[in-house]
A and B are shown apart, each in its own frame.
Chain A
Amino acid sequence: MSAGPHDTPDDSLAIETRGLTKRFGDVDAVTDLDLAIPSGVVYGFLGPNGSGKTTTMRMLTTLTRPTSGDAFVAGSPITDRDAVIDHIGYLPESPPVFEELTARENLRYVASLHDIPRSEADAEIDEYLDRFGLADAADRRVEGYSKGMRQKLGLVQAIIHEPDVIFLDEPTSGLDPRAARTVKDLIAELADRDVTIFLSTHILSVVDELADRVAVLHNGGLVAEGSPDELKHRAEATVESTLEDAFLQLTDDHDDEPVEPEDEVMA
């Protein structure tokens, strides 16, 4: 991976990857991934289990080094960790919270690492805790939290410093319908504020509802990209096709003829 003079980012893009590849030994986790994600969009990132979604997110958040290719997040190459992490928030599939701390302590800790002044941080923390229904449990240790409560806490941690680009890995996982609604409203609200959301999930209805653009990853490679409507129409020539139909068709390993991303479905 190199960031030479010709590897300058496109300023209009929040996330850009060029030939991004990750290999673990003999296993190709992500292959030659090219993405161009404009600022302020909700970008749905779909794929079956093991398709390389999390590896891609870890590379874009600088937590895993690519084998080859270039990538830029918020205008900075992912090789420049210090620059990238100033602009991003990340909610991995397992929320990165400390069990021995309370929710409020976890959030104060993260706010402190983002240099948010204490009074401002406390006000925001109270607001978010209230919004996500965690106010009553705010001073209880996280070890007693349910999966959904941890998920909500992890989400607040990822956004409390109001980053430019947010990576969300299954953000509605484990949430009840009301909490899921709150998360979806928040994502829409963030997008309205020109924040770029990179959203990986298996819940296709969430992507269908929120995403401006959708990419489908399969076996480490990009097999489709476009708006949700484009993908639905390209999947089957029927008006009734859903995003699920598109997803299933695009990621079907038993197809006799592989989908050609460039010709078939690439936007």
Chain B
Amino acid sequence: MSTPTESTDGNSGLRTLRHGLTLGRVDVKRSVRKSIDRKSQILAYAVVVLLFGGLGGYGSYIFGREVGLGGDLPFDYTMLEVARGAFALLWLFFAVIVVVRTVGTRGTLENDVGILSVVPTREAVLGVLFGELVLALAYTLPLLSVLAVGYSAGAGTYTLLVTAPIVAVVAAATAVSFAYPIGLAIRHVVTRIPFVARHKGPLIVLVFLAYMGLILSDVLGNLAATIFEPMQQAPTAWFADLLLLGSAAGGTPLRAALALALVPAFGVASVLVTTRVADHHWFADPVLAGTEDDDTDVDPNTDRHDDGFLLRVEDALGGVVGRGTAAVTVLAWKRAARAPLKLLYVAYPLLFAIGFIADIVQTGEVPAFAPAGALLFAAWAGAVVFTLNPLGDQGSALPATVLSRVGGRQFIGAHVLAGAIVTVPIGVVLVVALALAVPLDADQLTAVAIGTPASVLVGSLFAVGIGMLFPRYEAVNITRSTKAVVPSLLAFLAYSLFLVLVVAAAGIVYEPAVEPFVAAIASWLLPFGWSVTADTVGLAARGALVPLAIAPFASVWYAVRRFDTVTLD
């Protein structure tokens, strides 16, 4: 047997710490490598740090300069009180982010068998907490340091350059220690309580809508303003004293010392509590269908009933379009219906509409552009769900489909059909209902009623080629335990750009009055002093409509050929 160093140092506390650090170090190393492999993640990180760092740094410079010049603060509190309230609120915000991350992804161990069959739970917990702390510092340390540099440069006082990194570590450590066990406990409820686990999809949607509602209704803003003053007395406000220690604002030394003492206090308590929670969660049995905990309103044979219905639909459809096409069509429906979280992607554009929806609810008036907006959304959503990634949507069944007697025409036709059958009725009902509510006149009503199926169909025809050109086969994590194959980013962008161009060109042709406006914007955007006239804009729009009208058919032609020659490299 190999000689463990345990026998020499004999200190289980040190061993726990050493193992925790090892686990945390490997966790961070893996996260960094994964991030480096995903260029978009690096880009997002750079944008966050540069944008918030740049804006924050400049803002703190201006603020510091005002303070340095002895100017009046633009609020009724002293500098220290403002910092205390702000820090307490930011800490709370950060803790909520850690809770959400824990519920979503960090609450499970990757390679849990490899870790839990080797080390005790408390060491695994320590490793996760270390890893999460380092990842948190990747954001808090540069951002707070930039703010400190900006403020110091403005105010001409440099103590913050020393205290800011310390505060970043202290605040992140306490937030992670505080929030992780809470997130883990919530995750246990979400994934291990049968009722909650089985209705996770709808519950996630409800929570998300509630969250968006809170933001849009200003409830969160009002709440923050209300608790700003009481939070100045919270222990987490002591971080401000530590930050401003030795500066003109005058952080209290006792509170600064207490802020430092929070780290071991929170850390030890967190390891103890998290270990208890993790012992429950990480070793708990998964929730299975058809067990004694089944809720009575859940029919374990639901899928079978669905199958019976869909089989009849498939038979009926097969009589019209052929068995192969019908089979692929029904498969597309099944895969979409059984990956409901994937459908959340479709809801993204609705986020932009929440404000309008709130207005409609409050005023009872539907804006005139609503039917056209709904028409566009129907075309976009139908394509995203059914035609923007036909190869990837096949999943592991792709080789069987490719090697079957289904040809490109049937395969592509089936996906367009799957989208059209579902999206056209829903889209038409939605658009016509909105058009009646506006109300649009009879001609306009007829136009949008006919335009909806046409748009859905044309959109799907174009999307299917884009999807074949930029497929995505691998599933992406929605949560740690939930993956879904969604269209690739390039496919999303290309298809969205197509819709934007169509709308822009059609809009200009339909309403020539906008030509001067578009020409002015285009001239402003063009380099080297180039400019365009309103006539040129009109001409370009009419000219663009021709290739845009041809594009869907070219797209289908490409898609069919692509499927007929597809290889599984």
Contact = CB atoms under 8 A, between A and B. Distances in A.
Interface string A159-176: 011100000000000000
B514 to A, nearest CB: 51
Contacts of B297: none
A101 B26 contact: yes
A77 B33 CA distance: 39
B2 A160 contact: yes
Interface in A78-134: 81-82, 85, 88, 90, 92, 96-98, 100-101, 105, 109-117, 120-121, 124
- B interface, over-half SS: loop
A100 B23 contact: no
Given A90-B117, A92-B113, A96-B113, A109 B2 contact: no
A4 interface: no
A81 B113 contact: no
A4 to B, nearest CB: 21
Interface stretch (B202-210, B282-290, B442-450, B491-499): B282-290
Nearest to A94: B113
Contact of A101 (B22, B30, B294): B30
Contacts of A111: 2
Which range contains the number of A residues in contact with the other chain? 35 or more
Given A81-B121, A114-B118, A162-B2, A24 B26 contact: no
A92 B197 CA distance: 26
B111 A27 contact: no
Interface residues of B, number: 37
Contacts of A65: 283, 285
Nearest to A161: B2
B119 interface: yes
Contact of B2 (A63, A82, A105, A114): A114
Contact of B26 (A88, A109, A124, A160): A109
Interface string B1-13: 1111110000000
A106 to B, nearest CB: 9
Contact of B288 (A27, A64, A113): A27
Interface in B110-142: 110-121, 123
A111 B19 CA distance: 11
A177 interface: no
A25 interface: yes
A141 B36 CA distance: 14
Interface in B74-116: 110-116
B312 interface: no
Interface string A124-161: 10000000000000000100000000000000010011
Given A25-B291, A120-B2, 14 more contacts: A24-B286, A25-B288, A62-B117, A63-B113, A64-B285, A98-B111, A100-B30, A110-B118, A113-B23, A113-B119, A116-B3, A117-B3, A157-B114, A162-B2
List the 8 closest A-B pairs by CB distance, nearest first.
A25-B291, A96-B114, A115-B4, A162-B1, A100-B30, A100-B33, A116-B2, A90-B117
11 contacts: A26-B291, A63-B113, A63-B117, A81-B120, A82-B120, A90-B117, A96-B114, A98-B26, A112-B19, A116-B2, A161-B4
